[in-house]
């Protein structure tokens, strides 16, 4: 656990230094760096069976150059002090106009779960890792600087027998930085999505929304997410929600 925490701190320190250097270098336009840290009371995933159901920390880092971007996301189980889910996105913007944007991506995901290992006939509790290779298509249309709508398609290919292939299709929208009062801003991202797992003959239709309340020129925001099953036979909770705090840099 000490090694994990040291690695965690090293990644954060390195990326924070890169972000600071990028902002201070007036000529450095080749690469853009950003990141965020979210602490919440209930780790939620769009794939309900991958949700944590315990307090979690989510660290998202971003490195962008021209139309390419690399976005690692590290999710940790705070209650048990162990990894929950690591995701490593690679994306490319095929179309990037003021209104229409189309991106394609491929990424790998590692989902950590409590499991049982048997050695010499003795069963012991252990942390298991399930691996997936994922492809995605992300078209979106920008109606205004604050309003956009989009589609999202994701196919996940299981790389071991502990998980199954899955398809996810989403219709989503973003209403960003809505002016409230005294400099407060609200961002709302509602979506409806279909999730199918053909091998298990399981499927579900879900409603999801994320909210972020922030104040101008302050890098800390209050965030929340809701996920509700509209019609589903997946083995997961029908309704989950969380609340957290996010620091962006």
Q: Per-residue confidence of the chain (249 residues) as pLDDT tens digits?
A: 444 444 444 445 444 544 554 554 444 557 899 999 999 999 999 999 999 999 999 999 999 999 999 999 999 999 999 999 999 999 999 999 999 999 999 989 999 988 766 666 676 778 889 999 999 999 999 999 999 999 999 999 999 988 999 999 999 999 999 999 989 999 999 999 999 999 999 999 999 999 999 999 999 999 999 999 999 999 999 999 999 999 999
Specify the DSSP element, H or E, that contains 170: strand 166-179
CB 174 within 8 A of CB 147: yes
* Number of other CB atoms surrounding residue 40 within 10 Å: 21
Residue 164: both structure tokens together: 């199954």
- Dihedral sign, Cα of residue 198, residue 204, residue 205, residue 206: negative
Domain boundaries, the chain: 2-248
According to CATH, the topology of domain 2-248 is: Porin (2.40.160)
Whole-model pTM? 0.83
Q: Which among 175, 246, 191, 243 has a CA at the least distance from the CA of 214?
A: 246
pLDDT of residue 6: 43
Q: Which among 249, 243, 191, 241 has a CA at the least distance from the CA of 213?
A: 243
* CA–CA distance, 118 with 126 (Å, rounded to integer): 10
Find the DSSP H helices in 94-201: none
């Amino acid at each position: 656990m000490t090694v994990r925490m040291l690695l965690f701190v090293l990644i954060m320190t390195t990326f924070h230094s890169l972000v600071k250097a990028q902002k201070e270098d007036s000529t450095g336009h080749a690469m853009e760096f950003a990141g965020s840290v979210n602490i919440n009371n209930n780790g939620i995933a769009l794939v309900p069976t991958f949700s944590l159901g315990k307090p979690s920390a989510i660290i998202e880092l971003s490195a962008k150059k021209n139309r390419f971007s690399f976005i690692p996301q590290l999710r940790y189980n705070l209650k048990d002090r162990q990894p929950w889910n690591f995701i490593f996105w690679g994306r490319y913007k095929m179309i990037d106009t003021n209104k229409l944007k189309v991106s394609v991506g491929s990424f790998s995901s590692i989902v950590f779960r409590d499991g049982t290992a048997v050695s010499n006939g003795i069963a012991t509790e252990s942390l298991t890792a399930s691996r997936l290779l994922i492809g995605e298509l992300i078209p979106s249309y920008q109606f205004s600087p604050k309003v956009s709508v989009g589609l999202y398609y994701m196919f996940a290919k299981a790389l071991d027998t502990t998980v199954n292939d899955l398809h996810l299709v989403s219709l989503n929208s973003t209403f960003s930085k809505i002016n409230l009062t005294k400099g407060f801003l609200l961002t709302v991202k509602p979506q409806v999505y279909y999730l199918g797992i053909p091998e298990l003959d399981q499927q579900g239709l879900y409603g999801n929304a994320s909210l972020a309340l922030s104040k101008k020129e302050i890098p800390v925001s209050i965030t929340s997410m809701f996920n509700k099953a509209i019609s589903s036979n997946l083995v997961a909770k029908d309704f989950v929600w969380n609340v957290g705090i996010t620091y962006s840099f």
